[in-house]
């Protein structure tokens, strides 16, 4: 009986090895944990076009929005580990969600095989133009003189936008009130209308409003300047050393996906990122390329979860 079981195991392993060597022999889907037309879905579509060229099989997007990205992440986590279902992971699915939710239908580390971190984008601290401040230090002083009177908008409870706001509160000691909205666009519009005083949102989302004068940008949340807003200082430069938060997209496969497939997809993904078409899309969207190895992406996910967990714990953010 044991010999038979061992033989079956060897046959299965051999079949898996042959399957991996022949990969791919059918279409590949990229599960996107956001709605069609979202920036992540548009980026995945562009990436899919380039991967189609290198893999020789159609690579299509499969939008699965809901529950802050948890719906799409679960779909990918439960898929067969054969390289035909991938996940466009985000700073929500593999950063803030594991840090704030007591229960998730997936394990951000155990259930996935990292392929590549691809792009990042800074958040921008923006205020309504009616606030008499032009610099971060002026905003801090203005808020400290009016404890509890200023508020900030976010894309919802537990969002990375909120975690940016809570880190800002912790590092500066200001007392500002969180106002959650159902997504980044309504949060931004609420700030442009003066319904709230300020917000953290991605540079791609606020850039049009900063350019038109409906928002005033005070600082970006990464350690490097944004190509979209080159004249806006980093929060590090503005007196908040160590403030480093960004929105990002990466590519994952279900755990157990053969290593040869992961290596192939990593090479093809980095090649796609270096293409003129993807570079043009990235520049227009205000994204920044972050190519790398599967190991680099795995380390990034773990560091993001640890960082967000620390912020969430300090702010007392925990959701069911």
**Portion of the chain with pLDDT greater than 70, in percent:** 94
In this prediction, residues 101-113 reach a mean pLDDT of 97
Q: In which band, very low, low, confident or very high, does the pLDDT at 17 lie, cut at 50, 70 and 90?
A: low
pLDDT at 9: 46
User: Is 177 in a helix, a strand, or coil?
Assistant: strand
Residue-wise pLDDT tens digits, 46-91: 999 999 999 999 999 999 999 889 999 999 999 999 999 999 999 9
The pLDDT value recorded for residue 186 is 93
DSSP-based three-state secondary structure for 319: strand
pTM to 2 decimal places: 0.89
User: Residue 15: is its pLDDT beyond 60?
Assistant: no
- At 149-198, the pLDDT tens digits run 999 999 999 999 999 999 999 999 999 999 999 889 999 999 999 999 99
Mean pLDDT, range 208-222, rounded to an integer: 97
Average pLDDT estimate for 221-236: 94
Strand partners, 87: 31, 252
Q: Of 3.40.50.2300, 1.10.1740.10, 3.40.1280.10, 3.40.190.150, which CATH number belongs to 26-121+247-315?
A: 3.40.190.150
Checking if the pLDDT of 12 tops 60, the result is no
CA 68 distance to own-chain centroid: 11
Phi, psi at 135, each rounded to 5°: -135, 160
How many angstroms separate the CA atoms of 311 and 99, rounded?
Answer: 9
Angstrom distance (rounded) from CA 207 to CA 203: 6
Say yes or no to pLDDT of 304 above 90.
yes
Q: What is the C-alpha to C-alpha distance for residues 9 and 124, in angstroms, rounded to an integer? A: 53
**104 band by pLDDT with thresholds 50, 70 and 90:** very high
Q: Are both 26-121+247-315 and 122-220 of the same fold?
A: yes
User: Would you state the pLDDT for residue 4?
Assistant: 55
The fold of the 122-220 domain, in CATH, is D-Maltodextrin-Binding Protein; domain 2 (3.40.190)
Pairing of strands 59-63, 28-32: parallel
Q: What pLDDT does 5 receive?
A: 47
Task: Name the residue ranges covered by the structural domains of the chain.
Answer: 26-121+247-315, 122-220
Averaged confidence pLDDT in the chain: 93
* pLDDT score at 177: 97
- What one-character-per-residue DSSP string does 215-282 give? SEEEEESSSS--SSSTTSPBTTTTT-TT---EEEEEEEEETT--HHHHHHHHHHHHHHHTSHHHHHHH
In the chain, what is the straight-line distance between the N-terminal and C-terminal CA atoms, in Å?
47
Question: In this predicted model, what pLDDT tens digit does every residue of 122-156 receive, in sequence order?
Answer: 999 999 999 999 999 999 999 999 999 999 999 99
> What's CA 220's distance to the chain center, in Å?
16
| Structure confidence at residue 11 (pLDDT) | 45
Condensed to tens digits (0 to 9), the pLDDT of residues 245-287 reads 999 999 999 999 999 999 999 999 999 999 999 999 999 988 9
pLDDT at position 20: 81
Is it the case that residue 99 has pLDDT exceeding 80?
yes
């Amino acid at each position: 009986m044991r010999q038979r079981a061992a033989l079956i195991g060897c046959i299965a392993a051999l079949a898996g090895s042959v399957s991996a060597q022949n990969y791919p022999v059918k279409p590949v889907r990229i599960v996107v944990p956001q709605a069609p037309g979202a920036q992540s879905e548009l980026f995945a579509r562009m990436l899919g076009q380039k991967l189609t060229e290198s893999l020789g099989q159609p690579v299509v997007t499969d939008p699965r929005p809901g529950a802050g990205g948890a719906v799409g992440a679960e779909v990918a986590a439960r898929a067969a580990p054969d390289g035909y279902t991938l996940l466009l992971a985000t700073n929500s699915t593999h950063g803030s969600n594991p840090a704030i939710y007591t229960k998730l239908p997936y394990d951000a580390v155990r259930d996935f095989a990292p392929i590549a971190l691809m792009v990042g984008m800074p958040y921008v601290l923006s205020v309504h133009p009616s606030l008499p401040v032009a610099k971060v230090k002026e905003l801090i002083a203005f808020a400290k003189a009016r404890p509890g009177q200023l508020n900030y908008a976010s894309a919802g409870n537990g969002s990375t936008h909120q975690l940016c706001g809570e880190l800002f509160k912790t590092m500066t000691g200001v007392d500002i009130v969180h106002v959650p909205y159902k997504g980044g666009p309504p949060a931004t519009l609420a700030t442009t209308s003066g319904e709230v005083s300020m917000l953290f949102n991605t540079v791609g989302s606020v850039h049009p409003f900063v350019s038109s004068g409906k928002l005033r940008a005070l600082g970006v949340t990464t350690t490097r300047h944004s190509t979209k807003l080159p004249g806006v200082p980093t929060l590090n430069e503005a007196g908040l050393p160590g403030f480093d938060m960004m929105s990002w997209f990466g590519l994952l496969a279900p755990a157990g996906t053969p290593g040869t497939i992961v290596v192939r997809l990593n090479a093809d993904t980095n090649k796609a990122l270096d293409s003129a078409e993807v570079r043009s899309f990235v520049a227009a969207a205000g994204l920044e390329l972050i190519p790398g190895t599967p190991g680099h992406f795995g380390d990034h996910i773990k560091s993001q979860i640890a960082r967000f967990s620390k912020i969430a714990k300090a702010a007392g953010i925990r959701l069911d």
